Amino acid sequence: MHSSVILLFCLLLVLCAGQSVRAEGFAKTKVGDLDFICVQDAGGEFDNTTFAADADLLHKLAPSGKTPNSCSAFVVKGNGHTILIDTGMGRKMLENLKAAGIDPASVDAVLLTHTHHDHTGGLLAGDKPNFPNAKIWINPKELDFWKSSNKAQYEKAISVYGEPNPIVADEKTDIVIPEIKAIAIPGHTPGHTGFLITSKGDKIFAAGDILHSGTIQFPHPEINAKFDRDPAKAIESRRSILNRAADEGWRFAAAHLPFPGIGKIKKNADAFQFEPEK
């Protein structure tokens, strides 16, 4: 390599160190001392008919009849661990993890927000684990739901990964590392769980499927997706988390917000606004 090219490369590395990096398929930021990386599995759109609300209101919010989405997972790297939060469906997850510089074999924990296929489908490639050195962590209520809702996938995952570690969603118990605590956000599924990650005073909440369309649900948090299993609880959890994120200044990351889905929440009476990070 020509010496001027090497020099330019070194300069770029220095410029990137400690700052946010955005590329196709992944986006890196820092949360205090930790790396926090959004890894995209797939992009897409939700039809307005996905949402349980009056068609006129939905049309007003999303006149094209669709809103953009993503299927993303998040990596927390630091303190000696590489931790994956959800796994996508298994489309571009491995490819984009590798592009972000993360060897799937280095992932030592997979935290599941819940067990719908778009969050668990990336655990396995056929009968083989995509993360051969990882332990699964899951809320026991969600483990029961997995057993009853998708027994075949549950049995295969457990036979490959072994018995999962239980997540205690009390906001006090360490989840792998002291910087991660779990918060129960039931409604979408019975054991739906989010993760609050704190380092050096910086906080980010990995919110699972607390919402599915920013366009529709930030201004109208009372609107559920039709597949929110317990509608009343889903609304209660959504309002509670969005209020806390706004009041306590948390950064917010959600699997289905358009990539990379990381930003700040602002409150305006009963509604919310999302300010994506650049």
Q: Return the number of the residue (209 or 228) whose C-beta is nearest Zn ion.
A: 209
The verdict on 142 binding Zn ion (CB under 5 A) reads no
To Zn ion, the closest distance from the beta carbon of 112 in angstroms equals 11
Per CB under 5 A, which region of 81-89, 116-124, 155-163, 235-243 contacts Zn ion? 116-124
Q: Return the number of the residue (245 or 254) whose C-beta is nearest Zn ion.
A: 254
To Zn ion, the closest distance from the beta carbon of 34 in angstroms equals 24
Residue 162: name the closest of 129, 115, 113, 117 by CA.
Answer: 129
Per CB under 5 A, which region of 25-33, 34-42, 102-110, 201-209 contacts Zn ion? 201-209
* One of 41, 86, 118, 202 touching Zn ion (CB under 5 A): 118
For residue 81, which phi and psi values (nearest 5 degrees)? -135, 155
Distance CA 276, CA 260 (A): 9
The verdict on 209 binding Zn ion (CB under 5 A) reads yes
Residue 103 vs residues 87, 92, 184, 252, 257: alpha-carbon distances, Å: 14, 14, 30, 25, 25
Q: Return the number of the residue (34 or 185) whose C-beta is nearest Zn ion.
A: 185
Long-range contacts of range 92-98, CB-CB < 8 Å, 24 or more positions apart? 92/25, 92/40, 92/41, 92/42, 93/39, 93/41, 93/122, 93/130, 94/122, 94/130, 95/25, 96/25, 96/26, 96/39, 96/40, 96/41, 97/26, 97/39
How many residues at the interface with Zn ion, by CB under 5 A?
A: 2
Q: Return the number of the residue (35 or 209) whose C-beta is nearest Zn ion.
A: 209
Q: Return the number of the residue (34 or 262) whose C-beta is nearest Zn ion.
A: 262
In sequence order, which ranges of 150-255 are alpha helices (DSSP H)?
Answer: 151-161, 214-217, 231-248
To Zn ion, the closest distance from the beta carbon of 102 in angstroms equals 21
Rg (CA), the chain: 19
Residue 23 vs residues 37, 45, 86, 132: alpha-carbon distances, Å: 11, 21, 20, 26
Per CB under 5 A, which region of 21-29, 158-166, 203-211, 270-278 contacts Zn ion? 203-211
To Zn ion, the closest distance from the beta carbon of 206 in angstroms equals 13
Beta strand pairing call for 109-111 and 81-85: parallel
The verdict on 86 binding Zn ion (CB under 5 A) reads no
Per CB under 5 A, which region of 44-52, 115-123, 214-222, 257-265 contacts Zn ion? 115-123
Per CB under 5 A, which region of 13-21, 34-42, 112-120, 244-252 contacts Zn ion? 112-120
Residues found near Zn ion in the complex (CB under 5 A): 118, 209
